[in-house]
Amino acid sequence: MCGIVGYVGNREASPIVLSALRRLEYRGYDSAGIAGIRINGAEKNENFQIRRCEGSIDRLKDLLDTQPMVGTTAIGHTRWATHGRPSEKNAHPHRFRDVVIVHNGIIENHKELRQELIKKGHRFDSETDSEIIAHLLDRLIRETGDFEKSCRTMIKRLEGAFALAVLWSHDPDNLFVAKQGSPLLLGRGEGENFVASDIPALLEYTKEFLILNDGEMAFIEPSRIRVMDFSGKLIQKKTQRINWSLAMAEKEGYDHFMLKEIHEQPRVLQDSLRGRIVPGFKNVIFDTIDWKAEKWRSFSSVSMVACGTAWHAGLITKYWMEQIAKIHADVDLASEYRYRSPVEFPKTLSIAISQSGETYDTLAAVDEAKKLRHSLLSITNTVDSSIVRRTKNVIYTHAGPEISVASTKCFTAQLMNLALVTVKLAQARRAQSKAWIAKFLKDLSSISRQIEKVLKHEDKVREIAKKYANYNQYFYLGRGISYPIALEGALKLKEIAYINTQAYSAGEMKHGPIALISDQWPVVCVAPNDRLFPKMMSNIEVVKARSGKIISIGTEGHKTLENASDDFLPIPKVREELSPFLTNIYLQLFAYHMAVLRGNNVDKPKNLAKSVTVE
Ligand code: M6R
């Protein structure tokens, strides 16, 4: 967790670092800080200036307004607390004498290093694991008199995950960075260079990027960047041009990123499909995967791992894999998978699903699957993220940056790509006829137009949200492929509206949860007109008989459901496998409007961060 930024160049550094930090705030907002090296005219008097505060970047901005910084080199940090509560004292940057650092990750051997340094007379100001880095480096520099050599020695002593940016006051134009397990990339400019935790943070300044791998570090000066491995061997890195526009990373007139991202979904699905369906709906192509049909045919089971919303995408895919591709499929919470001692199962295709590509639990589950010699495939939205480096075969969701902590468009894009993988397997296994595949792909291609129709009902969703805004507990019910959608809708309401939700397969209600039903628990029913609709309808009647209030999402023109519901939201008629793309849109909008009505910080809900890079 946490976001880091650095700048060396010829412009005032603090406004640049501050604006880049704003774009990283989704990575954590417990505290923020910036450190620069003061310059008096052309003189560099070797003094650090540090501004830091508990809370968000807005508070840091206020601090900088009252205590401005000057200078052309700076590093910055936005924190999601791991070691040490959120406070000014625990905020980065951390300084010890002539060294100042910002860190994202966890130094696993920080206790040993701290003890070692305490024995040598060091005193620590914070409760963080990160502060030891500044102490250790300063000590090494004093012993050797050599900044770069000391950085190389220091990096070898650190265990765990880190993305680091470091300044030494005696060499103000030389910024040291290193990466192991946490994201970090370099941006190239004209007479200036940048560092940040992700690409959107720097898009305002450059489109030229160098992506660091684990085990790589760099010394960054205004007119040169030297990348090397941890032993100091120089590495020739290719500059990559990233053509995301800055506007793609901004709100485009919507009140919140979440709303913008919900409305982007039709476009995102078209981008996800682009070039992946052969004209005439005959086949699916993934240009990033070079498996032949025999390879796809060789799998006898599918094992998916993911967390949170991405896990829900996996649950839906399990239905698709079994019904459409006729292949055994499992989906695990990544945090459980690695500890449940999964048994080696030959010819397993292991699919890791992660928007950020940085979720610690998912990466650890991938490592576990590797040990079991599964064939690995990842579905991610983030170019050159950690998951990409772990799994040679990658499918990018092409959803563009998702800024809101609550995942919306990336979930939909994950579903689209997982549907395409299902088709690939179905074809290889000859589980469906050519005509069936062609019709399915055609229907998949038109789903973005159906989403546009659902989005037109946003006013109605807002009215329903107003009607129910004061209820503090909700049930979400679904069956079959709609059950994971109930889980996903319930998670959305929980995470951004802070409302207690319980999601169940509707068939499970009678086994206990129904005891809670009363007119104080509105029940959101995901009930498209599919095979299980008659069963779902009976479950709804049982809830109604106990005074439950029904908000239902069903197929347009379906009067039985509409008449049984207090409020009804219609989706267009669609084949049963694809209803999740549509029903989910209403649940995203419902959660969004509930959160707005409750005055919550929609894009940055409390206690959460966009990338969960800790266990
Ligand atoms: O980046 P990932 O897809 O691996 O993230 C997984 C979860 O942390 C994420 O989906 C989380 O549940 C979201 N806040 C849901 O909106």
Nearest to 410 by CA among 272, 541, 249: 272
Same domain, yes or no, for 151 and 219?
yes
Which of 221, 248, 275 finishes a domain?
248
Residue bearing the CA closest to ligand 1, atom 11: 308
Q: Among 445, 478, 509, give the residue marking a domain's end.
A: 445
SS3 at position 29? coil
More confident residue, 255 or 84: 255
Task: Give per-residue pLDDT as tens, 404-430.
Answer: 999 999 999 999 999 999 999 999 999
In a domain, 155, yes or no: yes
Looking at ligand 1, which residue's alpha carbon is closest to its atom 12? Answer: 308
Q: What is the pLDDT of residue 37?
A: 86
φ, ψ at 195 (rounded to 5°): -140, 145
Is residue 194 domain-shared with residue 294, that is, in the same domain?
A: no
| 178 and 125 in a common domain | yes
Q: Which pLDDT belongs to residue 43?
A: 38
Please give the pLDDT value at position 248. 66
Question: What's the pLDDT tens digit per position in 255-302?
Answer: 999 999 999 999 899 888 888 998 889 899 998 898 999 999 999 999
User: Based on the domain organization, do 165 and 125 belong to the same domain?
Assistant: yes
Question: What band does 46 get if pLDDT is binned at 50, 70 and 90?
Answer: low
**308 CB less than 6 Å from ligand 1?**
yes
Q: Is residue 450 part of a domain?
A: no
> Residue 554 to residues 488, 529, 567: CA-CA distances in angstroms?
17, 7, 11
Q: Show which of 445, 470, 503 is a domain's final residue.
A: 445
124 CA → ligand 1 middle, Å: 34
Query: 452 in a domain, yes or no?
Result: no
Q: Quick one: pLDDT at residue 41? A: 43
C-beta 405 within 6 A of ligand 1? yes
Q: Are 27 and 610 in contact (CB under 8 A)?
A: yes
Q: Among residues 61, 409, 424, 610, which one is catalytic? A: 610
- Where residue 126 sits, what CATH number does that domain have? 3.60.20.10
Q: Name residue, tokens 């774009």.
A: 23
**Number of residues that this document lists for the chain:** 615
- Residue 586 and residue 609 in one domain: yes
Is 2 catalytic? The answer is yes
pLDDT at 444 over 70: yes
Residues 213 and 156 in one domain: yes
Question: What's the CATH number where 401 sits?
Answer: 3.40.50.10490
Q: Are residues 466 and 575 in the same domain?
A: yes
How far is it, in rounded angstroms, from Cα 584 to Cα 571?
Answer: 10
Domain span holding position 479: 457-615
Do residue 206 and residue 109 come from a single domain?
yes
pLDDT at 98: 93
Q: Give 247's pLDDT tier (boundaries 50, 70, 90).
A: low
User: 136 in ligand 1 pocket by Cβ < 6 Å?
Assistant: no
**Among 197, 198, 262, 356, which is best to mutate for testing ligand 1, by the most ligand atoms less than 8 A from CB?**
356
Question: From CA 155, how far away is CA 475, in angstroms rounded?
Answer: 50
Dihedral sign, Cα of residue 267, residue 272, residue 274, residue 280: negative
pLDDT at residue number 141: 97
151: in domain: yes
For residue 508, tell me if it sits in a domain.
yes
Number of domains into which the chain is organized: 3
**Whole-model pTM?**
0.74
- 24-33, 358-367, 531-540, 569-578: range with lowest mean pLDDT: 24-33
CA of 359 relative to ligand 1 center, distance in Å: 8
Ligand 1 probe mutation, 359, 487, 491, most atoms within 8 A of CB = 359
Decide if 451 is inside a domain: no
- Per-residue pLDDT of 354-400, as tens digits, reads 999 999 999 999 999 999 889 999 999 887 688 988 998 999 998 88
Compute the distance from residue 309 Cα to the ligand 1 centre, in Å: 5
> In terms of domains, do 512 and 403 share one?
no
CA of 396 to the centre of ligand 1 (A): 16
Note whether 124 and 93 are within 8 A (CB). no
Q: Tell me: do 342 and 422 sit in the same domain.
A: yes
Catalytic entry in 2, 151, 410, 525: 2
Same domain, 389 and 258: yes
